[in-house]
Amino acid sequence: MAANYWVSTQKNHWLLDRWTLSQSREEDLKYVSETDYIKIKIWFCHLIQKLVKRLQLKQQVVSTAFVYFKRFYTKNSLRLTDPLLVLITCVYLAAKIEECPSHIRTVTQEAKHVFQADFGGFPYDTLKVAEFEFYLLEELDFYLIVWHPYRALTQLCQELGMKEQGLQFAWFILNDSYRTDVCLLHPPHMIALAALYLTVVLNHADFTPGSLGDRTDMRQWFADLNVQIETVVEISQEILSIYEVWADWKEEKMPALWKELKSKQLTSTGPSALPSSSTAATSTAISATATVSTPASSSSS
């Protein structure tokens, strides 16, 4: 792992621009509104979190799995792949990379429980997950180390003398930010600054008496930073925008929305007319959709 983010593979290979992201979702947005697309993405992130929680793994695994999932879908379409196979493989791989591996059999068994209500279980065995792991690695270009904003946030809060409750609030914002695409667009320290900015603006920052944060005008502190404050505000606005979508997000409605999107695929192209892929990952995921059943009923939250 590079000791410096600025020479890391994340900075040099996985810091994308908005045009690239818009191109990656172009196929899906032909059949679903952008708001519904975001809701579906939130749902799959929610399933990742549920699976990691059931496996009793740490938060770092959740965040790394989120990033792998998002990176995979910068090259592939939701409609033409099976996100269930993708997300469980992301969790399995993230657990290994974050040094808390879980046996592949355990992961698949727990997935059957997590996905039972919405999908009738998990329709793949351990061999399929193991096979897809190699395709996922290829789509990730074998760059697996993920730099997260948690360390930068902790250091900033310690320097400012922020109390534990303020740090926790900012930490929750960072967790929520993974429902957006900011992890693909911005360096981790900028996301940490945005979380701190929102914490201050929303009056959840509480500093120890006499600390730097207590005796400093935080507006001036942000203005004096050697960063583009416009970027901090942009990230903050993107995080706030996900809360607007999230407010109208209902887990029990997601299976029906996902089923509708998948049925549009069959109506539009037919299962025999799925386009051939230039990569093994996409072709395998496409072939997997032939065996997975779409959700027949919604689950209760």
CATH tag, 150-247: 1.10.472.10
- Residue 276 pLDDT > 50, yes or no? no
Q: What is the pLDDT of residue 270?
A: 37
Q: pLDDT tens-digit profile of 30-61?
A: 999 999 999 999 999 999 999 999 999 999 99
Q: What is the pLDDT of residue 273?
A: 32
Q: What is the pLDDT of residue 235?
A: 97
Percent of residues, the chain, with pLDDT higher than 70: 87
Q: What is the pLDDT of residue 118?
A: 80
Q: pLDDT tens-digit profile of 140-198?
A: 999 999 999 999 999 999 999 999 999 999 999 999 999 999 999 999 999 999 999 99
Q: pLDDT tens-digit profile of 87-144?
A: 999 999 999 999 999 999 999 999 999 998 888 888 899 999 999 999 999 999 999 9
30-67: burial string, b at 16+ Cβ within 10 Å, e else = ebbeeebbbbbbbbbbebbbbbbeebebebbbbbbbbb
Q: pLDDT tens-digit profile of 221-253?
A: 998 998 999 999 999 999 999 999 998 999 899
- Residue 296 pLDDT > 50, yes or no? no
Structure tokens at 171: 């930490």
Q: What is the pLDDT of residue 58?
A: 93
CATH tag, 14-145+250-288: 1.10.472.10
Side-chain-side CA neighbours of 228 within 13 Å: the count stands at 6
Q: Which one-letter DSSP state was computed for residue 143?
A: -
| Alpha carbons 73 and 77: distance in angstroms, whole number | 6
Question: What Cα–Cα distance (Å) separates residue 300 from each residue in 6, 27, 193, 250?
Answer: 44, 30, 36, 9
Question: What Cα–Cα distance (Å) separates residue 22 from each residue in 4, 73, 78?
Answer: 29, 11, 14
Q: What is the pLDDT of residue 19?
A: 93
Which residues in the chain are classed under CATH 1.10.472.10?
14-145+250-288, 150-247
Q: What is the pLDDT of residue 82?
A: 93
pLDDT class for 286, splitting at 50, 70, 90? very low
Mean pLDDT, rounded, for 262-281: 46
